[in-house]
Amino acid sequence: MIETIQWIDDCVVMIDQTRLPVEEKYVHCRTYQEVATAIRDMIIRGAPAIGVAAAMGVALGVLRTPDEAVDGQFETICETLARTRPTAVNLFWAIDRMKRLYGSVRAQPVGEIRRRMIEEALRVREEDIAICRAIGRNGEPLVPAERTILTHCNAGALATAGYGTALGVIRAAVEAGKNVDVFADETRPFLQGARLTVWELQQDQIPTTLITDNMAGHFLKSGRIGCVVVGADRIAANGDVANKIGTYSVAVLAKENNVPFFVAAPISTLDLTLASGDQIPIEERAAVEVTHVFGQQVAPEQSRVENPAFDVTPSRYVSAIITEKGVARAPYEDSLRKLAG
């Protein structure tokens, strides 16, 4: 069985998601800088998984820093990890959680600080798996039986510590005995759908069909899709959802064809400090991700490229937001605030 991210022998060990499915290779991070690089280079990706990686990165930084330097270095460790990717809020949520703990233990002996930081990072990971299971339980009743579920990108075990958010809902539907199959958008440019979603659903023997992103509309129009389920990288107070580029298109096409569009995400993905999705920073990534595929050139040299990694789906296209604490529906200002407690 594949593990997305683990703490082994005082290293952070991740499966290299840039190489899947061609190669199942693990990356061992020995320093917090290596964790930061792994997040930036998308060796690990997916909002909840990034949160776990950041928490482990902070713990690793504290572990590797000489006793006398820990207090001086702590902010640098956190900042380095925070500067890796701007959109997924789980990154900042996890770092804040580690900072709060640090604040409460910094007066203690360094050995004790280290022990507590590692323990907390492991707890973030364990909680994430439990949260995904709860999201699955809460989302499963929304999934129509005997139909096809469309998903975009990878919001699966590989995007979390395990089980997945959107794919957690699908797994829960299968576990509940529903006869469903999955259509996976390939999700250019990084091909998370083709490379990761198809691969991990194959492991679970959930019947999955790969399509290119531009086929989603055609199949939504065809009537065979019963619902869409995707993950999220950040959700604003009004229910606007930042998620992998292309999510907005799928949401519009779902609404146009009267297909329910569900977002599955942990409460840590909520950013209630933002009134709307317009305020969510959208990461722009390198042109080479679009012009090359696994190193193979697919566009002319010197192509001008735009490569926003995310888009924002206005909440009017979102049928429900599925969290570990329950299902939110419009008006989201109220329902999300209630769930967040």
Residue positions annotated with a catalytic role: 233
- C-beta closer to a copy of itself: residue 108 or 209: 209
> Which residue, 9 or 304, is less far from a copy of itself as judged by CB?
304
Q: In the bound complex, what is the minimum distance in angstroms from residue 244's beta carbon to a copy of itself?
A: 8
- Per this entry, what is the length of the chain? 341
* Smallest distance, a copy of itself to C-beta of residue 198, A: 5
Least Å from the CB of residue 335 to a copy of itself: 24
For residue 108, the SS3 value is coil
**Distances from the Cα of 300 to the Cα of 187, 290, 303, angstroms:** 21, 11, 6
CB 266 within 8 A of CB 131: yes
CB of 82 or CB of 220, closer to a copy of itself: 220
Q: Which residue number, 29 or 43, has a Cβ lying nearer to a copy of itself?
A: 43
Positions in the binding site for a copy of itself (CB under 8 A): 21-22, 152, 183, 185-189, 191, 194-195, 198-199, 202, 207-219, 221, 245-246, 248-249, 252-253, 256, 290-291, 293-308, 311
SS3 204: coil
Contact 43, 158 (CB under 8 A): no
Helix (H) or strand (E) segment spanning residue 176: none
260, 320 in Cβ contact below 8 A? yes
Among residues 104 and 209, whose Cβ is nearest to a copy of itself? 209
In 151-180, which positions are buried (b, 16+ CB within 10 angstroms) versus exposed (e)? bbbbbbbbbbbbbbbbbbbbbbbbeeebeb
Taking the complex as a whole, the smallest distance from the CB of residue 171 to a copy of itself amounts, in Å, to 18
Q: Which is nearer to a copy of itself, 72 or 300 (CB)?
A: 300
CA-based max dimension of the chain: 65
- Kindly give, in sequence order, each residue whose CB lies less than 8 Å from that of residue 12, ignoring residues fewer than 6 positions away: 5, 6, 28, 29, 34, 35, 38, 53, 56, 57, 60
Looking from the CA of 247 toward its CB, the CA atoms found within 13 Å total 30
For residues 31 and 81, give the distance between their C-alpha atoms in angstroms, rounded to a whole number.
Answer: 11
Nearest-approach distance from CB 30 to a copy of itself, in angstroms? 30
Shortest spacing between CB 105 and a copy of itself, in angstroms: 43
Name, in order, each residue with C-beta under 8 angstroms of 83's C-beta and a sequence gap of 6 or more: 36
